Amino acid sequence: MFENCLSAASPTTSMQSYLALVGAILAEVTGTTLLKLSDGFDNAAFGVGAMALYLIAFYFVSEALADLPVGLVYATWSAVGILALAVIGVTVFRESVDAAGLAGFVLIVAGVVLLNVYSTAYSPA
């Protein structure tokens, strides 16, 4: 089922590339959470932490892009980040999500699953 996803990169670099993508997602989600906590940079320490984590996220994305297709990396990075931040928004910041928002999240997940699992565009020729 995941052949297309894993065959997009060589076997020796695939795991490293996907771990770099995970690192990018974690850094970006944490950075965005700190940016929210900075309250418009009124709390500069959180804002500076957010900027540092964004730099780390971009480093990890560049590592992932060395072996994985840009469309797959960016779609996965964006979608997982959006979903993680929505969960953080609801659980930590007590933000609300309505039915349209939930439907949007389902479509985002469906799109990323299609790209990563079923798309042949990222398979080697």
Is residue 123 domain-resident?
A: no
Residue-number span of the structural domain to which 64 is assigned: 10-118
pLDDT: is 112 or 46 the higher one? 46
Is residue 3 domain-resident?
A: no
Residue in this structure with the two tokens 């020796």, named with its chain if needed: 12
Residues ≥6 apart with Cβ < 8 Å to 69: 8, 121, 122
Global pTM? Answer: 0.83
Residue 77, both tokens: 């990075």
Is residue 113 domain-resident?
A: yes
Determine the length of the chain: 125
Is residue 95 domain-resident?
A: yes
pLDDT value of residue 12: 55
Question: Residue 123 — very low, low, confident or very high, per pLDDT cuts 50/70/90?
Answer: low
Cα(21)–Cα(88) distance, integer angstroms:
20
Residue range 26-68, pLDDT digits in tens: 999 999 999 999 999 999 999 999 999 999 999 999 999 999 9
pLDDT: is 115 or 49 the higher one? 49
Q: How many domains does the chain have?
A: 1
Residue range 72-103, pLDDT digits in tens: 999 999 999 999 999 999 999 999 999 999 99
- Write phi, then psi, for 33 (nearest 5 degrees): -65, -45
Is residue 124 domain-resident?
A: no
Residue in this structure with the two tokens 């960016």, named with its chain if needed: 74
Is residue 17 domain-resident?
A: yes
Cα(116)–Cα(21) distance, integer angstroms:
13
Given a cut of 80, is residue 13 above it in pLDDT? no
Is residue 102 domain-resident?
A: yes
